Amino acid sequence: MLNLKPILISGKEVLPLVEGGKGINASDGRSSGAWAHENCVGTFSGVSPDFYDEKGNVVAEIFTSKTRAERHQEMIDMAIKGGIAQAQVAHEISNGNGRIHMNMLWEMADSQAVLEGVLSKAKGLINGITCGAGMPYHLGELATKFGVYYYPIISSARAFNILWKRAYNRFTEFLGGVVYEDPWLAGGHNGLSNAENPEQPETPYNRIVELRRLMNSYGLQAIPIILAGGIWKLKDWEDYIDNPEIGNIAFQFGTRPMITKESPVSEAWKKVMLQVKKGDVILQRFSPTGFFSSAIKNTFLEKLIERKNGEIAYNEISDAEFTEPLVINEHKTVFIKSCDKEKAMNQINAGLSEIRETPDKTVVFMTPEDWKQMKEDRKNCVGCLSQCQFSTWSATSPTKSTGKIPDPRTYCIHKTLYEVGHGGSVKDHLLFAGHQVYRFATDPLYRNGCIPSVKELIDKIKNGD
Ligand SMILES: Cc1cc2nc3c(=O)[nH]c(=O)nc-3n(C[C@H](O)[C@H](O)[C@H](O)COP(=O)(O)O)c2cc1C
Ligand code: SF4
């Protein structure tokens, strides 16, 4: 048994164990309510959460408007309904125990409108807001307005320092904690900066001590650091507990709670995770947000990797280096290096006959079916992100465009996460996962495909297992 002492989170003494928020629909009212019920913290995702009709059936997120701006508004309205619905479900299941948090992707366009819409109608149901993927400068002000605690998700002391100096120092009352998410180990989007090497992971210890020193220098000794990313069993982290260099700490689990009875992800998705081997999770940069992210290598990811591997640099005019003409469509011929000619021909001969430009003066190759689907996905864009490399949508620009050409090396993240979060193919959609997911296969808790309840999982975690 570990010496896990309750700590103050969002105004209440709870166990220092947190379910990480996971969109779309990979953590919801059912899972977060179950975590709260065990006197821990549950986090439902505020990104396109499910809402229900009068019979209690999930209302599918179907967009009917013609323009992207209208579809975007439909998405926001549905997300607000969903956030309220999931907060109600979580609150009911929690039986008043623990704490319930809502997670928001800051890079989502109009994330503040969703938060405001949900918080104004779900008073008393949500105790805290966690926010990552981007720099949530306005989070402190917004949370304070509604009297809920806020939890920025950062991956370095440097990021917290910027947030603190620019905004949070004025909103200290409701700063509930700082989530340190290990950018090399965590599932979902990863906060690797340009200064950090994706190939060279750093141990979290020194980075957390640096964060704690910084927080202490601002008088934030009592504010917990919530450690996320790569946490499986707490026996591996015993030296972080009751350690004066680290101070108040809680542990956030993202991937592990996905295989519980209360987890909303499909049986097929759970089955994949039970079989993943070490090395099957890839840290890559295909997300249309531009961030790194970690996901299981499946057909979806393999296709993106293959496309990227087939990428070839081109020039508009021929010169000493770019000598070989490449016809990319009936109106355009570009020039590639002679050393790339064979690579281009091999792809065309293999059926990857659609040649598409990227914003980096390169071309990639894909099948006509994939190209057709890509056009369709762009046509159906609902403007979910503030900036999207896949569709070039930009919520903040007056032209509503990034001004770049759409990047065929990326994908529509809204479509794939929504579909896999609602029973879609686990081969053909993105499966975010942390780098410890391979441990499901050997952990005795899951022997013979056993799926524990949240209570059973938390009992094991409390034991250190
Ligand atoms: C499927 C999946 C979806 C996720 N979605 C989000 C998200 O929408 N917002 C967010 O802040 N973090 C998200 N995360 C990160 C988790 O909340 C958590 O911090 C992370 O998974 C911790 O690392 P671990 O997976 O090694 O436990 C996601 C993680 C996974 C595995
Ligand atoms: S194309 Fe981009 S902005 Fe549009 S819905 Fe998909 S991910 Fe969101």
Count of beta carbons in the 10 Å neighbourhood of residue 35 = 35
8 A C-beta contact, residue 292 and residue 192: yes
Cα–Cα distance measured from residue 174 to residue 161, given in angstroms and rounded to the nearest whole number: 17
Residue 109: predicted pLDDT: 83
Considering only the top CATH level, what class is 7-265+443-462? alpha beta
Q: Of the ligands numbered here, which is closest to the C-alpha atom of 48?
A: 1
At a CB cut-off of 8 Å and minimum separation 6, what does 415 contact? Answer: 377, 380
Q: Of 65, 66, 90, whose CA–CA distance to 78 is shortest?
A: 65
Nearest ligand 2 atom, CA 383: 3
Report strand pairing: 128-132 vs 99-105.
parallel
Cα–Cα distance measured from residue 368 to residue 374, given in angstroms and rounded to the nearest whole number: 10
Residue 161: predicted pLDDT: 97
Q: Of the ligands numbered here, which is closest to the C-alpha atom of 74?
A: 2
Q: Of the ligands numbered here, which is closest to the C-alpha atom of 410?
A: 2
Beta bridge partners of 280: none
Q: How far is the CA of 73 from the centre of ligand 2 (A)?
A: 14
Nearest CA to ligand 2 atom 8: 384
For the chain, how many residues are written?
465
Residue 194: predicted pLDDT: 87
Q: How far is the CA of 151 from the centre of ligand 1 (A)?
A: 14
Q: Of the ligands numbered here, which is closest to the C-alpha atom of 289?
A: 2
8 A C-beta contact, residue 187 and residue 254: yes
Sheet holding 332-337, edge to edge: 322-329, 332-337, 312-315, 362-366, 354-357
Which amino acid is residue 437, in one-letter code?
A: V
Distance between the two ends of the chain, CA-based, in angstroms? 9
At a CB cut-off of 8 Å and minimum separation 6, what does 66 contact? Answer: none
Q: How far is the CA of 394 from the centre of ligand 2 (A)?
A: 10
DSSP-derived letter for residue 190 is: E
Residue 440: predicted pLDDT: 97
Q: How far is the CA of 276 from the centre of ligand 1 (A)?
A: 17
**284 by DSSP, 3-state: which?**
strand
pLDDT in tens, the chain (465 residues): 777 999 999 999 999 999 999 999 999 999 999 999 999 999 999 999 999 999 999 999 999 999 999 999 999 999 999 999 999 999 999 999 999 999 998 888 889 999 999 999 999 999 999 998 778 999 999 999 999 999 999 999 999 999 999 999 999 999 999 999 999 999 999 999 888 999 999 999 999 999 999 999 999 999 999 999 999 999 999 999 999 999 999 999 999 999 999 999 999 999 999 999 999 999 999 999 999 999 999 999 999 999 999 999 999 999 999 999 999 999 999 999 999 999 999 999 999 999 999 999 999 999 999 999 999 999 999 999 999 999 999 998 999 999 999 999 999 999 999 999 999 999 999 999 999 999 999 999 999 999 999 999 999 999 999
Nearest CA to ligand 2 atom 3: 383
At a CB cut-off of 8 Å and minimum separation 6, what does 267 contact? Answer: none
Residues with CB under 6 A from ligand 2: 288, 381-385, 388, 390-391, 393, 412-415
Residue ranges per structural domain of the chain? 7-265+443-462, 312-408
Cα–Cα distance measured from residue 3 to residue 392, given in angstroms and rounded to the nearest whole number: 50
Cα–Cα distance measured from residue 396 to residue 345, given in angstroms and rounded to the nearest whole number: 41
Q: Is 187 a pocket residue for ligand 1 (Cβ < 6 Å)?
A: yes
pLDDT tens-digit map of 170-201: 999 999 999 999 999 999 999 998 889 999 99
H-assigned helices in 407-453: 413-420
370's enclosing H/E stretch is helix 368-379
Report in angstroms the alpha-carbon separations of 112 from 51, 69, 129: 19, 17, 11
Nearest ligand 2 atom, CA 393: 3
At a CB cut-off of 8 Å and minimum separation 6, what does 205 contact? Answer: 240
Pocket test for ligand 1, best of 129, 154, 255 (most atoms within 8 A of CB): 255
Nearest ligand 2 atom, CA 391: 1
Q: How far is the CA of 322 from the centre of ligand 1 (A)?
A: 43
At a CB cut-off of 8 Å and minimum separation 6, what does 165 contact? Answer: none
Using a 10 angstrom Cβ sphere, with 0-12 exposed, 13-18 middle and 19 or more buried, the burial of residue 343 is middle
Q: Is 155 a pocket residue for ligand 1 (Cβ < 6 Å)?
A: no
Q: How far is the CA of 350 from the centre of ligand 2 (A)?
A: 29
Q: Is 185 a pocket residue for ligand 1 (Cβ < 6 Å)?
A: yes
Pocket test for ligand 1, best of 19, 22, 256 (most atoms within 8 A of CB): 22
H-assigned helices in 147-263: 157-166, 204-217
Cα–Cα distance measured from residue 127 to residue 240, given in angstroms and rounded to the nearest whole number: 26
Q: Is 24 a pocket residue for ligand 1 (Cβ < 6 Å)?
A: no
Cα–Cα distance measured from residue 60 to residue 441, given in angstroms and rounded to the nearest whole number: 33
Cα–Cα distance measured from residue 313 to residue 251, given in angstroms and rounded to the nearest whole number: 44
Which amino acid is residue 37, in one-letter code?
A: H
Q: How far is the CA of 435 from the centre of ligand 2 (A)?
A: 26
Q: How far is the CA of 5 from the centre of ligand 2 (A)?
A: 43
Token pair for 362: 């390169």
